[in-house]
């Protein structure tokens, strides 16, 4: 089902008696959420008809690029990358999905503008004071094998073209799921670390979704903790600290947090 949301100039809906929403009860994908109000009343959740629908578009301040103004960023403000909320002529679902999830998790993130052949980097993000994160976004099992090598090229470009010290760059692979234990992906990451001293982090769309669902913001300190290689192809220790409980408690799908086989 495709939902087409139109901008509205009408007034939004407000709870009666000036009661404010306190928390939301969710009991399933096919069950309407229950809104608990400050006056102890409950009501079924529905669209508030906001004049500025933040569920559909990001605000300008959420799209800030002050941490790296030279990057030719995609300026799309749509929240839903698959156009299920808003039909748009633009494409680029994989990178847009990763960008939006990172933004939802409190990470300033930019993706490359579509059609720009002068910049091959998929995305960059703020990874701490005087630091810059660079990301390769791959959703297919075959393409992810090239991601670590592509990140080395990205680091070289940022260092040579923009003068960013290699030690100040945090490379990251964002994937749909992790490859299996026998994949050369993990060995390449380990070799890069041992030979060049560059730690390439890994995170999945699933892990980002989990963090967003429980409203855990990603702090800059986590990027160094998301390193995984052939000796330990998992990011579960970092997720355990972030989520405050075992990743296995919320998903039985191991490819989200560790090598799938």
Q: Comparing C-alpha atoms, which of 179, 105, 183, 106 is closest to residue 138?
A: 179
Q: In whole angstroms, what separates CA 37 from the centre of its chain?
A: 31
pLDDT: is 32 or 192 the higher one? 192
Mean per-residue pLDDT of the chain: 80
pTM for the full predicted model: 0.71
Q: What is the rounded average pLDDT of the residues 189-216?
A: 91
List of domains in the chain: 1-52 (no CATH), 60-256 (3.40.91)
Is there a contact between 98 and 174 (Cβ–Cβ < 8 Å)? yes
What pLDDT sits at residue 251?
A: 58
**Per-residue model confidence as pLDDT tens digits over 59-98:** 777 777 677 777 767 777 777 755 544 433 344 567 888 8
Is there a contact between 161 and 124 (Cβ–Cβ < 8 Å)? no
Q: Which residues, 6 or more positions from 80, have their beta carbon under 8 angstroms from its beta carbon?
A: 56, 86
Given a cut of 90, is residue 198 above it in pLDDT? Answer: yes
Q: 48 pLDDT band (50/70/90 cuts)?
A: low
Q: Comparing C-alpha atoms, which of 221, 171, 173, 163 is closest to residue 196?
A: 171
Given a cut of 70, is residue 57 above it in pLDDT? Answer: yes
What pLDDT sits at residue 118?
A: 75
Given a cut of 70, is residue 260 above it in pLDDT? Answer: yes
Residues in the chain: 261
Dihedral sign for Cα atoms in the order 251, 255, 258, 261: positive
């Amino acid at each position: 089902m495709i939902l087409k949301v139109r901008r509205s100039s009408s007034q939004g809906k407000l709870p009666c008696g000036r009661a404010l929403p306190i928390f939301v009860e969710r009991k399933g994908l096919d069950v309407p959420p229950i809104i608990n109000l400050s006056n102890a009343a409950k009501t079924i959740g529905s669209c508030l008809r906001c004049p500025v629908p933040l569920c559909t578009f990001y605000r300008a301040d959420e799209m800030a690029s002050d941490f790296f103004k030279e990057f030719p960023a995609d300026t799309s403000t749509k929240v839903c990358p698959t156009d299920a909320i808003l039909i748009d002529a633009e494409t680029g679902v994989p990178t847009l999905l990763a960008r939006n999830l990172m933004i939802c998790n409190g990470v300033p993130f930019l993706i490359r503008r579509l059609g720009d052949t002068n910049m091959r980097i998929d995305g960059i993000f703020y990874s701490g004071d005087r630091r810059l994160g660079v990301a390769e976004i791959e959703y297919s099992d075959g393409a992810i094998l090239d991601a670590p090598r592509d990140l080395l090229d990205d680091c070289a470009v940022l260092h040579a073209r923009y003068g960013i010290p290699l030690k100040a760059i945090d490379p990251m692979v964002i994937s749909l799921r992790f490859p299996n234990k026998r994949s050369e992906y993990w060995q390449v990451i380990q070799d890069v670390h041992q030979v060049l001293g560059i730690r390439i982090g890994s995170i999945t769309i699933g892990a980002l979704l989990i963090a967003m669902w429980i409203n855990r913001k990603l702090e800059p300190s986590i990027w160094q903790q998301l390193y995984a290689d052939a000796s330990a192809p998992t990011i579960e220790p970092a997720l355990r600290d972030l989520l405050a409980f075992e990743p296995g408690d919320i998903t039985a799908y191991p490819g989200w947090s560790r090598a799938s086989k």
